């Protein structure tokens, strides 16, 4: 019985490897939205285990009809049932090899948790941040981008200046993407964003803490434009960072729209991609 099954499998046609006559190469093809265990280095606790949403893609030469989707999952499954940052480049190389591709991409997005103490009472609580690693191999050239999304509080300077009392404030979100030479901790990027806003957020606040954050925001009004500029000034002081993209979006409390600003460093990094540039420590 086993022999019959084996013979039947070996005779199945490989449709993906058939020749495509349209002669149109595909830039990216693969799998998205795959959930998988992930371990990332934590500055305070050495290692943090979380669940990542993974996307894996490769380029497809014009002569092939399709790629082998199952191989992406097989490659991922080889990592002892948990991905580590140190294994990302190994995954990229394996994708190039097994899928006959010149370029390979992997995006790993996950919630990252940080313990924070309330500003007055010191009550501890966890708060989550959205983090993404985007790693690329093009031939032997490598690239790595770290993106961190940080929720913050902003208070409107205009509202404060024109009002007899009070000022409207709202929650905002800062998205920081960076390329860097040596290790940059996720916590460092979080601190840059939070210290650039009117006030940071906390999961647990008692009355004394709530008064503090309310007054803190009132004393530090920032437009969305101020927020991105403040972040960029701090990033420029971090010598390891060689490229940045900073976005801020305020979820306005008195307008039927959001306020938005974006600054990106002008260095055209991708044209001079360093063949050794990929992060090996996290």
Cα 217 from Cα 124, distance rounded (Å): 21
Which CATH number belongs to the domain containing residue 238 in this structure? Answer: 3.10.270.10
Number of domains into which the chain is organized: 1
Q: Which value, to the nearest 10 degrees, does the dihedral of the CA atoms of residues 272, 276, 278, 282 take? A: -140
13 falls within a domain:
no
122 falls within a domain:
yes
Q: Which of left, alpha, beta for 33 (phi over 0: left; psi -120 to 50: alpha)?
A: left
**Total residue count of the chain as it appears in this document:** 282
Domain residue limits at 100: 18-272
Give me the phi and psi of 111, to 5 degrees please.
Answer: -80, 135
150 falls within a domain:
yes
The b/e string for 230-256 (b: 16+ C-beta within 10 A; e otherwise) is bbbebbeeeeebebbbbbbbbebeeee
160 falls within a domain:
yes
* % of the chain exceeding 90 in pLDDT: 72
What is the arithmetic mean of pLDDT over 119-148? Answer: 97
52 falls within a domain:
yes
4 falls within a domain:
no
- Looking at 155-159, 200-204, 269-273, which range is the least confident one? 269-273
Provide the 10 A C-beta neighbour count for residue 182.
Answer: 10
Q: Which of left, alpha, beta for 65 (phi over 0: left; psi -120 to 50: alpha)?
A: alpha
180 falls within a domain:
yes
10 falls within a domain:
no
What is the arithmetic mean of pLDDT over 84-92? Answer: 89
What pLDDT digit, counting tens, does each position of 193-225 carry? Answer: 999 999 999 999 999 999 999 999 999 999 999
On whether the pTM is more than 0.85, the answer is yes
């Amino acid at each position: 019985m086993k022999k019959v099954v084996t013979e039947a499998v070996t005779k199945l046609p490989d449709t993906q490897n058939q020749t495509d006559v349209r002669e149109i190469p595909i830039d990216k093809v693969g799998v998205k939205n795959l959930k998988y265990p992930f371990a990332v280095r934590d500055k305070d606790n050495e290692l943090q285990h979380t669940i990542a949403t993974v996307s894996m893609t490769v380029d497809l030469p014009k002569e092939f009809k399709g790629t082998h989707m199952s191989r992406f999952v097989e490659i991922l499954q080889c990592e002892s049932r948990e991905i580590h940052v140190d294994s990302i480049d190994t995954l990229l190389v394996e994708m190039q090899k097994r899928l006959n591709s010149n370029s390979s991409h992997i995006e790993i997005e996950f919630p990252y948790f940080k313990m924070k103490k309330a500003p007055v009472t010191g009550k501890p609580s966890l708060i989550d941040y959205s983090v993404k690693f985007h790693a690329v191999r093009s031939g032997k050239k490598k690239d790595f981008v770290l993106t961190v999304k940080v929720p913050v509080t902003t208070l409107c300077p205009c509202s404060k200046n024109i009002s007899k009392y009070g000022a409207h404030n709202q929650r905002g979100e800062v998205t920081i993407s960076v390329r860097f030479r040596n290790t940059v901790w996720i916590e460092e990027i979080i601190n840059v964003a939070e210290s650039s806003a009117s006030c940071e957020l906390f999961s647990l606040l008692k009355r004394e803490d709530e008064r503090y954050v309310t007054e803190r925001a009132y004393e530090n009004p920032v437009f969305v434009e101020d927020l991105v500029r403040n972040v960029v000034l701090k990033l420029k002081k971090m010598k390891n960072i060689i490229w940045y993209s900073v976005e801020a979006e305020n979820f306005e409390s008195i307008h039927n729209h959001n306020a938005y600003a974006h600054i990106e460093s002008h260095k055209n990094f991708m044209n001079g991609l360093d063949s050794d540039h990929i992060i090996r420590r996290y």
